[in-house]
Chains A and B, each alone.
Chain A
Amino acid sequence: MRILAALAFALALVAPAAAQTTLIRDGRVVTNTGAGVIENGDVLIVNGRIAAVGATLTAPSGARVIEAQGRYVTPGAFAAMSELGLNEISGSGAPDDASVEGELVSAAADVARAFNPAVSAVAVTRMEGVTRAAIAPSGTATMFGGRGALVAMDGGPDSIFRERAFMVLELGETGAERTGSSRAAMWPVLEAALRDAREYPGRYRSGQGGAVLNELDAQALQPFANGQGLFLVRMESAADIRRLIRFKRDNPQLRFVIHGGAEAWQVADELARSQIPVLLDPLSNLPDRFERLSARLDNAALLHRAGVPIGIAPAPGTVDAHQARLVLQLAGNAVANGLPWDAAFAAVTRGPADAFGVGDRLGRLERGYAADVVIWDGDPLEVMAAPTTVLIAGQEQPLSSRQTRLRDRYNPAGRR
């Protein structure tokens, strides 16, 4: 009886939402599709998905109508790399699930098991128009950085929409540091680890064990080593990227996305031929690491021009749990440095969705896509703009957070 009641309650929670129909009317609709930008466009949302996008849609009876009044209507932003939900406060000795310490596991670390949708950063992030995020550990003890997940920013219990979406693989300075302090050791260890994973469980059951991986890590790595999962490879230098392209040629079944790629512009044509996407930081222009000596502000523009798929993410080493909202500012700065606006906006929406293999349902305003829709009070890549409405899978999100509560408590303009 109690179970039945609970079930009825659960259905009651879902049912009205599932039946909900919303029409957003008269917006500057950025579709991220061949339809481009539709002036005075409408977006019809039924049951959490986009049902239609066009110039003049009719609201079905009972539909909620949101007047966009000519404002930008766009897909929600996709933060291509963050530690969102893995801590409330990242320093101060507070609990931090982003950082995986010790030798117990590395590849097997799984942030889907750590993500907490209730952290205050989720609300802070979504009210800035970010509706989805890729999350990963900040680091482990080895070159295998653990398994990342894709999450929605709705703060609900089912926020994780893809577990084990990718395996972080450190193959730059950081990877070398963790592997005998040398790239000369890193690559042979990588190859040995892939063999361990492919030969799991046989060599572990036989008692032979792994050459370099423990059993847990070998098991976790196996699908990725067999081409069934995506490696998110952190590297910056042109020399490292060339090595990866060559490695991909010899191991065509493996799937890679580069995170970092500050010097990728130097190998843009090779990257375009290999169609390895790059998640890059448009602000990366300091030679702060030796692997980033030729970082430059127009990296995004040069890669885009060459035909390399790009997404925008904070540079490795600057990824955090609190400022994923700044991806739109990063994209605006890419525009300031030569990237066309459409490409820049795509790089914080469609680009990450495509790179993570969910581009068939996220990142576009197109029939059948999840209705992550944001209405803005200005150009979304402008630092002074902000959302006025945020929908995730058709559900309107509160534009409030712990920060707005503090704001209202101390506002000298008297709003409380």
Chain B
Amino acid sequence: MRTFAIAALAASAALSACSTTGGREEEADASDRAPYASTYAPRASTPTLIQNATVLDGAGGEFTDTDLLMRDGRIVQIGQNLSAVADATIVDASGRFVTPGIIDVHSHLGVYPTPGIDATSDGNEATQPNTAEVWAEHSVWPQDPGFERAVAGGITTLHILPGSANLFGGRGVTLRPVLGARTVEEMKFPGAPQSLKMACGENPSRVYGGRTSSPATGMGNVAGYRQAFAEAAEYNRRVQAHAESGEGDPPDRNLEMETLAGVLNGDILLQWHCYRSDEMATAIEISHEFDFEIAAFHHAVESYKIADLLAREGICSAMWADWWGFKIEAYDGIRENIPFVHAAGACAIVHSDSGVGIQRLNQEAAKALADARRAGLNISRGEAWTWLGRNPARALGIEDETGTLAPGMRADVVIWSRDPFSSYAVADAVYMDGALVHERGRRQPPYSDFELGQSYREGGQ
């Protein structure tokens, strides 16, 4: 850990230059901004030195009695007995734990916000099986009170997906849970790739089969994926041919095809809802036929059955610790799914898919870790935190920015009251880009306009 120091100094010098421009993430003139691009700006922060913590770095390591220095939104140094920089806020974390901010790769906050009523049910454009043209960010309600609860649970990055009614549900977006944001663009994680949400299994065939339209079966699902990718490959060919030749009119814009072409080109990461191992294996065959990559299978309840295949293919599995039985494709869920995937050398991720679960993903990881050990697997706490740190960052294409604690990374940091693999642990402090965005016990009005002025809430919570 001490060897980080030199690199950290260099990084901090480079970064402090950045801060003189006002701490804005994007210096570009607003008028030059591409439509829909991120306008996220970190909150103002002071240099902060956290001392004497047990650090789980999200990359597999655990370090005791360790300090962490953040400045200008980045981690500058991690090690023992660090000296404070001028004007640094010093936080004594003796007896407490420090981890990277948690990344949830599967959330519907904002698109299925609370309160959940007909008018706010914005997550599934279930009007046809291929709606690759829709973007989840255009359904996100930034005032969803769920964002504030998620931050209190240590979340600093979350990926918002459309629902799973369709074969192609649309594009997902990686957000910062910026409390008080007025636009979704203020929440968009700068530079994070979009995703495409696809869905295997029961959901699409139930939704459309029930309308006596395709897909009504598993084979109908696969035909739907293949036909769409075949068309996208052709669309891609025509777009590229026109770009190279410059002759004639370009092909008509087709938003659905643009998304699928983005997957084929590697610009858009594929997040595929798929429970059953055999269906994941078929999905992998499709990826080979059309030569695209799958970033992660989500709700991958049966990944433990094909962990070797997933390791070989380099595909992540986003999983619950113990959900099972709520439908036949979740029937073979076991509590050791996450650690069995991990043990095979594949990329294991703990995800929530829930506005409640997102508030305590640390406990989900804890359950999986405990069951791993009972099953005879030797997994450390540090390794287990990769399920909430490096691995979800990788699946979202932001592993160079967040998910791990290392010099130069975004200072997304949680101070836990105690070992976060405990039911009793709570996030005492959450930092996003070095700014304190949650402090346990601090009484303040709710960030969401929806909750403001509801008299019973004003008493604080």
A residues 277-299 with Cβ under 8 Å of B? 283, 285-290, 293-294, 296-298
Q: For residue B451, which residues in chain A have a CB less than 8 angstroms away from its CB?
A: 287, 293
Complex CA gap A286/B451 in Å reads: 11
* CB nearest to A382 among chain B residues: B423
How far is it, in angstroms, between the C-alpha of A23 and the C-alpha of B332 when the chains are bound? 37
Contacts A294-B456, A323-B322; is A89 near B423 (CB within 8 Å)?
no
Question: Contact: B456 with A383, CB < 8 Å?
Answer: no
For the complex formed, measure the closest distance between the CB of B40 and the CB atoms of chain A, giving whole angstroms: 25
Q: B228-248, CB under 8 A of A: which get 1 and which 0?
A: 000000000000000000000
- The complex places the Cα of A286 from the Cα of B145 at a distance, in Å, of 7
State whether B335 touches A403 (Cβ < 8 A): yes
Is B219 positioned at the interface, with any CB of A under 8 Å from its CB? Answer: no
Nearest 9 A-B pairs (CB), nearest first? A332-B423, A413-B376, A91-B327, A322-B325, A384-B370, A294-B456, A288-B114, A92-B328, A92-B327
Q: Which residues of A contact B421 (CB under 8 A)?
A: 383-384
A215 to B360, alpha carbons, bound, how many Å? 48
A406 close to chain B: CB less than 8 A: yes
Chain B CB within 8 A of A238 CB: yes
Q: Which residues of B have CB within 8 Å of A283?
A: 356, 359-360
B312 in contact (CB, < 8 A): no
Q: How distant is the Cα of A382 from the Cα of B370 in the complex, in angstroms?
A: 10
Q: Is A121 an interface residue (CB 8 A)?
A: yes
Q: Given A332-B424, A383-B421, A406-B334 in contact, is the A288-B326 Cβ separation under 8 Å?
A: no
A121 to B331, CA, bound (A): 10
Instruction: Give bound CA distance, A320 to B327, whole Å.
Output: 12
**26 A–B contacts, CB within 8 A, in A order:** A88-B325, A89-B327, A92-B202, A92-B327, A92-B329, A120-B325, A238-B456, A266-B456, A283-B360, A286-B114, A288-B114, A293-B454, A298-B461, A322-B325, A323-B322, A326-B322, A329-B363, A329-B367, A332-B423, A332-B424, A333-B360, A383-B367, A384-B370, A407-B334, A410-B305, A413-B375
Q: Does A415 contact B (CB under 8 A)?
A: yes
Question: Please, how many angstroms separate the alpha-carbon atoms of A407 and B371 in the complex?
Answer: 10
Chain B residues lying within 8 Å of A384, measured Cβ to Cβ, are 366-367, 369-370, 421-422
B377 at the interface (CB under 8 A from A): yes
Chain B residue at minimum C-beta to C-beta distance from A296: B461
A121 x B363 contact (CB < 8 A): no
**Contact between chains at B334 and A403 (CB < 8 Å):** yes
Q: Which of B117, B322, B355, B426 contacts A286 (CB 8 A)?
A: B355
Question: Could you tell me the distance in whole angstroms from the C-beta of A261 to the nearest C-beta in chain B?
Answer: 14
A90 within 8 A of B: yes
How near does chain A come to B376, taking the closest CB pair, in angstroms? 4
The interface bits of chain B over 309-327 (1 if a CB of A lies within 8 angstroms of the residue's CB, else 0) are 0000000000000111111
A1 proximal to B (CB < 8 A): no
Nearest Cβ in chain A — how far from B273, in angstroms? 15
> Are B145 and A287 neighbours in the complex by a CB distance under 8 Å?
yes
When distances are taken between beta carbons in the complex, the residues of chain B under 8 Å from A288 are 114-116, 355
The answer, among B328, B426, B450, for a CB contact under 8 Å with A94, is B328
Residue B283 at the chain A interface, CB threshold 8 Å: no
Contact B325 A413 (CB under 8 A): no
Interface residues of A in 296-313 (CB under 8 A from B): 296-298
Q: Does A412 contact B (CB under 8 A)?
A: yes
**Contact (Cβ within 8 A) A411 B340:** yes
| In the complex, per-residue mask of A211-245: 1 if CB is within 8 Å of any chain B CB, else 0 | 00000000000000000000000000010000000
A90 and B335 CA atoms in complex are apart in Å by 19
Q: Which residues of B sit under 8 angstroms from A412, Cβ to Cβ?
A: 307, 340, 343-344, 377
- Assess the A290–B115 pair: CB atoms within 8 A: yes
Given contact pairs A336-B425, A384-B370, A263 touches B325 in the complex (Cβ within 8 A): no
Q: Residue among B325, B328, B376, B424 with the most chain A CB within 10 A?
A: B325
Supposing A90-B325, A381-B423 touch, asked if A286 and B146 sit within 8 A by C-beta, the answer is: yes
Query: Which chain B positions have C-beta within 8 A of A403?
Result: 324, 333-335
Q: How far is the CB of A293 from chain B (nearest CB, A)?
A: 6
Secondary structure at the B interface, as helix, strand, loop or mixed, is: loop
Q: How distant is the Cα of A90 from the Cα of B424 in the complex, in angstroms? A: 31
- What residues of B have a CB within 8 angstroms of the CB of A326 in the complex? 322
A414 to B239, CA, bound (A): 52
Q: Mark interface residues in B113-131 (1 if CB within 8 Å of A CB, else 0).
A: 0111100000000000000
- CB atoms of B327 and A90 under 8 A apart: yes
Contact of A322 among B115, B326, B454 (CB under 8 A): B326
On whether A386 and B326 interact (CB within 8 A), knowing A286-B356, A336-B424, the answer reads: no
State the CA gap A75–B9 with chains docked (Å). 57
Do B376 and A415 have beta carbons less than 8 Å apart? Answer: yes
Output the nearest chain B residue to A119 by Cβ-Cβ distance: B325
Least Cβ distance of B7 to chain A in Å? Answer: 35
Task: Report A329-346 residues with CB < 8 Å from chain B CB.
Answer: 329, 332-333, 335-336
Q: Mark A105-142, 1 if CB is under 8 A from B, else 0.
A: 00000000000000011001000000000000000000
Question: Which residues of chain B come closer than 8 Å to A382, judged between CB atoms?
Answer: 422-424
Q: Contacts A294-B456, A333-B423, A407-B335 hold; do A289 and B325 have CB atoms under 8 A apart? A: no
Chain B nearest Cβ from A356, distance in angstroms: 25
Report the Cα distance A332→B328, complex, angstroms.
Answer: 30
Closest B residue to A331 by beta carbon equals: B423
The reply on B336 being an interface residue by CB < 8 A is: yes
| Contact indicator per residue, chain B 352-385, by CB within 8 Å of chain A (1) or not (0) | 0001100110010011011000111100000000
Choose among B116, B117, B375, B423 the residue that contacts A383 (Cβ–Cβ < 8 A).
B423
- Minimal beta-carbon separation of A110 from chain B (angstroms): 24
Question: Is A365 positioned at the interface, with any CB of B under 8 Å from its CB?
Answer: no
Residue of A286, A335, A382 with most chain B CB atoms under a 10 A cut-off: A286
Query: Residue A15 at the B interface, CB < 8 A?
Result: no
Residues of chain B lying within 8 A (CB to CB) of residue A385: 370
Of A266, A336, A381, most buried by chain B (CB within 10 Å of CB) is: A336
Cβ B370 vs Cβ A383 within 8 A: yes
- Residue on B nearest A322 in the bound complex, by CB: B325
Determine the residue in chain A with the shortest Cβ distance to B308. A412
Q: What is the chain B residue whose CB lies nearest that of A290?
A: B115
